[in-house]
Amino acid sequence: MARSPPTRGTARQGPGHAARPAPGGRLSVALVYPNAERVGMANLGLHAVYRLFNDDPGVRCERVFLPEGPEAPRSVESGTPLGDFDVVAFTLSFEEDYGHLLALLHRAGLLLRAADRGEGHPLVVAGGMAMQINPEPVAPFLDAVLVGEGEVLVPPFLACLREAAGRPRAELLRALALLPGGYVPGLYEVEYADTRAPGGGWVTRCEPRGGAPARVVRQYVADLARVATSRVLDSPAAQFGDLFLTEVARGCLWGCRFCAAGFVQRPYREVDLETLRGEVRRGLARGQRIGLVGPDTSDHSGLDALTCQITEAGGTFSPSSLRVDAITPALAGRMAAGGERSITLAPEAGTPRLRQVINKDFSDDRVVQAAAHALGQGMHHVKLYFMCGLPTETEADVLGMAHLALRIREEVMAPKARATGRMGRITLSVNPFIPKPWTPFQWLPMEDEACLKAKRRLLEKTLRPRGIEVDFLSTREAAQQTLLSRGDRRCADLLELAFRDHGGDLRQALPRWPHDPDFFVRREAGVDDVLPWDLLDHGLTKAFLARELRRGLGARVTPKCAVERCRACGLACADHPELVTGGAAG
């Protein structure tokens, strides 16, 4: 069956000043980040949506964060109680914040379940990266979800609210379901296979009602060239509060097989250099360091020119992410001159073979060379990011993490220490592999907890006597994140049970939940299963993801995206059938 392509809008550029709520706005919107203010104000997406809402003269948008104490949530700008707004709009970036969503609704005096709210209650909606990946674990708590990017979602959403003003709530929800990117969970009847019964399968029925579409098509900005997305409000107490954050690109070219953002934000799109130069000048005029934000800032075609501009103007910068093979002596030198004392490298896997499994194609020598470039330019410390429990991982792959760290210590740090009298620090940050929706690894299980703990002990035994610390994410926390990443609407019952009876602790609530958590966490799904998140349409075909899974298990590398001429993943193939090839992923 032919699929409609994602709508591609052209977003207008935002104002060159901090957005503020319009006084007397007729529609009041609470923009809620379900975590502490210092965390929320470091989220560039929150700044973008705040500006988009307040760009509309008929809207008064104010921020709400999770209070530090037991008090009821109120807005930062005016102290208005959360429950008094017309719209409660959550920005959900991480599954760990799902419990906070329930806490905020409850403390605001709002009913948790969307089905229980009626006329006179605020409209509760959500967007953000977690909602683009899989909204189902929190779907029963939400009246609507906006799937995609705010620039092309917010204006039609507000127009729909105005058009439906005064009409019954049910009519408004049906209208929202017809918006491109609008998902109204209450208009879908879903049934699932029994988690405790033998046999395969997952979703057995997903039936839309009231004219809702069978699949919700993600909306995105096709031309990002002149779309400036930067911090609009300063918050010195925020994480990265000294940085003027500005977005350089969306999407990623490299197709790392574990990374959901790299797939659901396709295609890769850059903000043009002149637009970024203007944003940099604004940030420098405010006396701030420049934070360059993107899935892989290394890919931006103007990165060297932009960082040279910052340095020549007497400013400093910090990129959010850099590929190992993009760290040159010149770039490292500019970073060190700006005060960076540590370089962060993400080999992700301990051996070249396992890096090919996840579609990262560089050698151990290249990692050591990147560290040498950074330390040779004046940096002192190295942080290495790895995952543990990746598909096909062996003990040799685990020990490869340790060997790589020791090579950097002995070949790069030790000679420098002999010359300077100062030995730098190496830290390994190791996270258990979490299979994410919309990746080629979405069908695979998370590794058994006992195996992960054994690998952690092996790393610690090898490295700690040599003075190298290993920071290993709790396997229990990783399992809970997997449950909420791959979960369906039955997880909403677990979240509510944990909130009401166990202080939000999912582990304590699990014995009373009538479903098997291993179904979601440690079961290998069939590639033909209907998955909970299949009701979304990111333009990616399952055939492409399954092919990438096979290539990964065979340690075969897929070249980076050729955006202008390849549609192997299925994205936009309805527009350009002549561009569909098996090339890159065949």
What is the Cα–Cα distance from 586 to 108, expressed in whole angstroms? 52
Mean pLDDT computed over every residue of the chain: 92
Give tens-digit pLDDT for 209-262.
999 999 999 999 999 999 999 999 987 777 777 899 999 999 999 999 999 999
Give the model's confidence band at 12: pLDDT under 50 very low, under 70 low, under 90 confident, else very high.
Answer: very low
pLDDT in tens, 259-282: 999 999 999 999 999 999 999 999
Q: How confident is the model at residue 19 (pLDDT cuts 50, 70, 90)?
A: low
Last residue within a domain, chosen from 487, 518, 544: 487
pLDDT band at 571 (very low <50, low <70, confident <90, very high): confident
- Report yes or no: 318 and 216 within 8 Å, Cβ to Cβ: no
The answer to whether residue 490 scores a pLDDT higher than 70 is yes
Our count of domains for the chain comes to 3
pLDDT digits 0-9 by tens, 130-177: 999 999 999 999 999 999 999 999 999 999 999 999 999 999 999 999
313 in a structural domain: no
Mean pLDDT of 551-561: 96
On whether both 196 and 136 belong to a single domain, the answer is yes
| pLDDT higher than 50, residue 580 | no
Q: Helices H, strands E: what count in the chain?
A: 20, 21
Please give the average per-residue pLDDT across 120-124, as a whole number: 97
Are both 570 and 441 inside the same structural domain?
A: no
Q: What is the pLDDT of residue 235?
A: 79
pLDDT at 572: 55
- pLDDT bin (cut points 50, 70, 90) of residue 556 is very high
Average pLDDT over residues 388-399: 98
522 domain residue, yes or no: no
Say yes or no: 445 and 574 in one domain: no
Question: Do 73 and 213 belong to one domain?
Answer: yes
User: Is residue 309 included in any domain, yes or no?
Assistant: no
Tell whether 36 and 146 lie within a shared domain. Answer: yes
Query: Which tens digits make up the pLDDT trace of 181-192?
Result: 999 999 999 999
* Residue 28 backbone dihedrals phi, psi, to 5 degrees: -100, 130
- Whether 386 and 350 have beta carbons less than 8 Å apart is answered as yes
Does 512 reside within a domain?
Answer: no
Residue 447 forms part of a structural domain: yes
Please report the pLDDT score of residue 88 as a whole number.
98
Q: pLDDT-derived band of residue 23, with 50, 70 and 90 as boundaries?
A: low
Q: Are residues 62 and 190 in the same domain?
A: yes
Residues 481 and 538 in one domain: no
Tens-place pLDDT, residues 459-468: 999 999 999 9
Domain span at residue 560 reads 532-579
HSE-CB for 476 with a 13 A CA cutoff: 5
Which pLDDT belongs to residue 22? 61
Residue 507: both structure tokens together: 């582990």
Shared domain check, 455 and 571: no
Question: Could you give the 3-state DSSP secondary structure of residue 397?
Answer: helix
Residues 540 and 395 in one domain: no
For the stretch 410-459, pLDDT in tens is 999 999 999 999 999 999 999 999 999 999 999 999 999 999 999 999 99
How distant, in Å, are the alpha carbons of 19, 115, 146, 454 from that of 203?
A: 43, 21, 22, 34
Tens of pLDDT, residue by residue over 312-370, are 999 999 999 999 999 999 999 999 998 999 999 999 999 999 999 999 999 999 999 99
Residue 570 or 462, more confident: 462
Query: Quick one: pLDDT at residue 25?
Result: 65
Check: CB of residue 164 under 8 Å from CB of residue 178.
no
Q: What is the pLDDT of residue 582?
A: 32
Tell me the CA distances in angstroms from 40 to 62, 101, 233, 450, one per residue in order: 13, 13, 12, 35
Task: Return the pLDDT at 236.
Answer: 73
For 289-318, how does the pLDDT look when each residue is reduced to its tens digit (9 = 90+)? 999 999 999 999 999 999 999 999 999 999
Q: Is 331 among the domain residues?
A: no
- Residue 2: predicted pLDDT: 35
Alpha-carbon span 41 to 289, nearest angstrom: 16
pLDDT digits (tens, 9 = 90+) for 190-211: 999 999 988 779 999 999 999 9
Residues 108 and 41 in one domain: yes
Residue 238 lies in a domain: no
CATH number at residue 462: 3.30.750.200
Task: Select from 115, 174, 119, 104 the least CA-distant residue to 139.
Answer: 115
User: Can you tell me the distance from the alpha carbon of 217 to that of 214, in angstroms, rounded to the nearest whole number?
Assistant: 10
Residues 13 and 150 in one domain: yes
Domain-terminating residue out of 190, 220, 250: 220
Whether 472 and 379 map to the same domain: the answer is yes
Q: Is residue 38, in this structure, part of any structural domain at all? A: yes
Domain boundary among 452, 487, 522: 487
pTM listed for this prediction: 0.92
